[in-house]
């Protein structure tokens, strides 16, 4: 994630990969469900499948660019071969994902609580992406990279919501909570977790850079 030697810790890289894999699995599962709606399984999942099937066009318009964004993200974050092309694609795909995310809020499963989480974190995602683009135009590559990392990790918050949802689904017989009641909570927990973690890492890396620059300062 870092070309300047301040590489992220192993646990952070592992967490990023886990989020990417979860996000890919979620999109693939949703696309399959849209093409072949389930006729068996838990009633809560069948209800969700039916819900998204009723808004299939908008759902596809959102999750397919998100899928491509997530696939391009590691190429950019780890600067693999062709990362410059992937980086340009990331800005375009991110803009589409952000725009369609706002549209998706009109059909939020979790009501106003989910809607508020999407509005807050999707806005922050777009601000981060836009700032990264601006920094790139200004030739501020280090700042561009920080803002791009921030945007990617915030978007991957959607993957972090899934384990939280899993806990709610697993305990639904005890809590009697329906998806419409816990989706909003899961969204706030997932996106907040990713946002806090990436800010912590970026700030710790910034402090490390500052200490290193001070250490190389030659006294007059």
pLDDT for 114-167, tens place per residue?
A: 999 999 999 999 999 999 999 999 999 999 999 999 999 999 999 999 999 999
CATH entry 1.10.357 includes domain 10-211: no
Is 90 exposed, middle or buried (CB count within 10 Å of its CB: 0-12, 13-18, 19+)? buried
Of residues 215 and 185, more confidence is placed in 185
**Per-residue model confidence as pLDDT tens digits over 28-77:** 999 999 998 877 777 777 888 888 999 999 999 999 999 999 999 999 98
Reply yes or no on whether the pLDDT at 220 is more than 50: no
Q: How many CA atoms lie within 13 A of 134 on its CB side?
A: 7
CB atoms within 10 A of CB 188: 20
Domain boundaries, the chain: 10-211
**Closest by alpha carbon to 141, among 76, 186, 188?**
76
């Amino acid at each position: 994630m870092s070309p300047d030697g301040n590489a992220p810790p192993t646990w952070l890289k592992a967490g990023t990969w886990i989020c990417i894999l979860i996000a890919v699995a979620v999109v693939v599962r949703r696309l399959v469900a849209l093409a072949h709606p389930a006729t068996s399984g838990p009633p809560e999942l069948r209800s969700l499948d039916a819900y998204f099937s009723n808004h299939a066009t908008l759902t596809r318009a959102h999750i397919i660019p998100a899928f491509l964004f997530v696939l391009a993200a590691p190429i950019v974050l780890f600067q693999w071969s062709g990362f410059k092309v992937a980086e340009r694609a990331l800005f375009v795909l991110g803009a589409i994902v952000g725009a369609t995310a706002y549209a998706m809020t009109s059909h939020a499963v979790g009501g106003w609580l989910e809607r508020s989480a999407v509005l807050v974190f999707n806005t922050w995602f777009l601000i981060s992406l836009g700032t990264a683009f601006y920094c790139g135009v200004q030739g501020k590559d280090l700042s561009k990279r920080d803002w791009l990392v921030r945007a990617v990790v915030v978007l991957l918050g959607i993957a972090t919501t899934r384990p939280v949802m899993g806990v709610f689904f697993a305990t639904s017989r005890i809590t009697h909570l329906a998806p419409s009641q816990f989706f909003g909570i899961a969204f706030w927990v997932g996106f907040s977790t990713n946002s806090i973690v990436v800010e912590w890492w970026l700030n710790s890396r910034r402090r490390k850079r500052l200490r290193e620059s001070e250490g190389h300062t030659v006294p007059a």
